[in-house]
Chains A and B, each alone.
Chain A
Amino acid sequence: MTFFRCLLVLLVMFVAPPAPAQDDPFAGLASGNFDDVSAAIAALALSGNPQAAATIGALQTDALFAGPEAAVYIRTDDGWVDARTGQKAEGVNEDDLNPVRVNNAVRRAIDAALGSLNLFSSSATVRAKAAEDVFRSRDPAALPALARAIAKENDAGVRSVMVQARAAARLADPASSDTDKLEDIAVIRARGDIEALGLLSSLHDQPAEVATAAAAAIASIKRSEQLWSVAQSVFYGLSLGSVLLLAAAGLAITFGVMGVINMAHGEMVMLGAYTTFVVQETIGAHAPALSGWSLPIAVPLAFLVSGAVGIAIERGLIRFLYGRPLETLLATWGLSLVLQQAVRSLFGASNREVSTPAWMSGAAQWGGLTITWNRLTIIIFAVMVVAALMAALRYTALGLRMRAVTQNRRMAAAMGIRTPWIDALTFGLGSGVAGMAGVALSQIDNVSPNLGQGYIIDSFMVVVFGGVGNLWGTVVSAFTLGIVNKFLEPVAGAVLGKILVLVLLILFIQRRPRGLFPLKGRAVEA
């Protein structure tokens, strides 16, 4: 029986006259000839026939069957459907049907056809995606479908993608006119991304006028790309600057305002980072519901931990060394070694994992600019910390006393200010700010006992560059150094860029030993 059916199919294939595919694409589908089937698929896709999508989709899933007299049926879960009308077909005998078979050429035709059919999908995302596919494939065969789709399209966004797709396809079509091509180049120039650039660069054998327009468009796109990359460098620079600012803000208080060289400043940052780690572990173990809040919780705790350690350092060590800056430097360096080793003994020498909360992960794309949320958060955080610090110095009673003590210690003491306590609190404030910096740095750096060491030289450079005793100077210098660093990096490489910045800084300090914004005064150094 089966043998006879195969024989019959063969007979039909040889005996039956070629189906008129142009007039009735469905007949072509039923022809059994792979070339005819491919042609029929293309014709069907362009015909705008409402049944086209369903029919070609059925072909893709092997659910399309050909019957006698060029009848075409789709097998569905509840019976047979006539492909031409979309109506349920009654009285179909399965024995009379043969599946429409496909080979690779037919599959390609199906894919292309479905691509242009998706241009008419009811979902805007699918339509935009289909247009984008055409833009990439630049297939002139899709042009008629695109033209109809553009005419029908109501969504402005999808429409513009379709226009771009049409432009790409028309540019690839040798038959299109020069006027069209010029218009198309304008469209693609307006698109202005890396794919547009690729498309324009791949154009050749074009008339002179078109080639000139394409060259101009390429230049324009490259220019705007350059602008975006400058903007991206500025963002990276701001990000690096905010890290430097956080690390240096505390130092601007202890070194800048009090004049204490605290080489253990980096270790205050490191303690803040470890506080974050401990907070995260504790929350993870006891209150997992709060895990998204671990960073906001860690910020005040880090301030308190580092601030308390700072006050202890001031009371226990630094107050004996006021007026002897070089000795202070050595003693605090020794202290930094002790703190590092203590943390290493407590937490181990390896890096500790501090996770990034969900609201800080990911990135946003804005034009040619990629903005990662954690970097953006740190920039905002740095600005907030410095603003709070300035406000504390400017508007609180403690800030007033701090400024009084640093400006004229003896006069302040005569006015009844307890200067030793103010010293301790000022040092604690600076150290606490360093601890808050540690919370932020735990997000972008390895939390290890050596965390602080990497920032100490940079921090001193920022404070010295900005001018000692001047918070605004510190802000300007941190962001300047960050941005300069990021602009040097692509030219000179990361390490060489950093070295260049250091050398430039050393030279700068020779020229202006008091920094960018020196405090004005009449005091002569001893």
Chain B
Amino acid sequence: MNRFAVFFCVVAVVGGAVTLAALNLNTALGSPWHVPPYVVSLVGKYLCYAILALAVDLVWGFGGILSLGHAAFFALGGYAMGMYLMRQIAGRGVYGNPVLPDFMVFLNWKELPWYWHGFDNPIFAGLMVVAVPGLLALVFGWLAFRSRVSGVYLSIITQALTYALLLAFFRNDMGFGGNNGLTDFKDILSYPLQADATRAGLLVVTASVLAFSLMLAYAIVASRFGKVLIAVRDAESRTRFLGYRPENYKLFVWVVSAIMAGIGGALYVPQVGIINPSEFSPANSIEAVIWVAVGGRGTLVGAVLGAVLVSGGKTWLTGALPEIWLFALGALFILVTLFLPAGIIGAFRRAPAPLPAPEPAE
């Protein structure tokens, strides 16, 4: 059943993306089958969100770790990609400096900070997209799980983590563009970003990465490792007493999830054309959690579905009735937790997904 759902979702995502791209590129402008380029970018953005949601579902749905800071990994991956795209501008910026990005010229910086070196190389930048979120998650998770910080404590310190990063990236001295972030990108791997073909290509790449992540996540949770992980989620102490090391299981899935989120962020940046510190804001991380909750926690496919549905709803509502959006989002949080604890996918399941046992009163 679950395997079938994952397979169906992979086919739907990749097939849908390829169809959209083909319809965008191969039909005439006036044709009723024509897909405008902004739809391509928009769907690409949703699929990036879906990758983030998948990452959250992996740790929350199967590891029992509610991360309120996953957008931090997403944004770090995005910044790594943004730095590569900034270096690609090379002399075509407003100030025409061949090396320094515009904001550095504006701040009167004379040379490139050391941590910007190497980002002109796409392979190095790709490595950083994986390494930076992965390393942060490794250090943070190693410290947290080893000292058995769990439950809401962990949620709150993940939120503090993303909040600290938010404040840090707002600083001009950090060398990441401060408040404005990184923008004005020109091309990626020397394909112009404004071209329809590049956008369609990015959409297909994003869909493939999402499909691969989905299969990887399914492979992890369906394996023997995944069974232990679920045991850790449902009864951590009991699992430990049985001789397993819960912290190792959690750390592994935590790092995989962070890397997944980072890659999602890296694909997000070229499609929306900007990355700025607001991506770190705690509200973004919590929105990612609600995608998972709406779709169905611990179902993987539900996370993808929830991300696309909620973001699509957000796009429609903020355009049509901007006043209503926050009411709707807030109500969604409340109603889903009260009446739909297993999410949309869970509601259609024959046997409801097992939820963690309630904690004792004291």
Which residues on A are within 8 Å of B, measured CB to CB?
A: 261, 317, 320-331, 333-338, 340-342, 344-345, 407-410, 457, 460-461, 464, 495-496, 498-499, 502-503, 505-507, 509-511, 513, 523-526
Contacts and interface: CB of A to CB of B under 8 A. Distances in A.
A326 B338 CA distance: 12
B341 A327 contact: yes
Contacts of A513: 147-149, 153
A526 B150 CA distance: 11
A460 B154 CA distance: 12
Contacts of A341: 323, 326-327, 330
Contacts of B157: 464, 505-506, 509
B156 to A, nearest CB: 5
Contacts of A320: 338
Given A333-B333, A408-B361, A460-B160, 8 more contacts: A329-B152, A330-B286, A330-B293, A330-B333, A334-B329, A502-B161, A510-B143, A524-B237
Contacts of B333: 330-331, 333-335, 337
Per DSSP, are chain B's interface residues mostly helix, strand or loop, or mixed?
helix
Interface in B252-273: none
Interface in B60-79: 60, 66, 68
Contacts of B282: 457
B39 interface: no
Contacts of A328: 337
Contact of A510 (B149, B151, B152, B293): B149
B361 A457 contact: no
Per DSSP, are chain A's interface residues mostly helix, strand or loop, or mixed?
helix
Interface stretch (B162-170, B243-251, B344-352): B162-170
Contacts of A505: 157, 160
A329 B155 contact: yes
B327 A407 contact: no
Contacts of B227: none
Interface residues of B, number: 53
A496 to B, nearest CB: 7
A59 to B, nearest CB: 57
Contacts of B51: none
Contact of B160 (A336, A495, A502): A502
Contacts of A410: 361
Contacts of A524: 237
Nearest to B358: A323
A323 B155 contact: no
Contacts of B205: none
B290 interface: yes
24 contacts: A261-B152, A261-B155, A321-B337, A322-B358, A323-B358, A326-B151, A327-B341, A331-B333, A333-B286, A335-B330, A335-B333, A337-B333, A338-B330, A345-B323, A408-B361, A457-B159, A495-B168, A499-B168, A503-B164, A505-B160, A506-B140, A513-B153, A523-B362, A526-B359
A329 B163 CA distance: 17
A326 B361 contact: no
A499 B330 contact: no
Contacts of A340: 326
A525 B167 contact: no
Contacts of B3: none
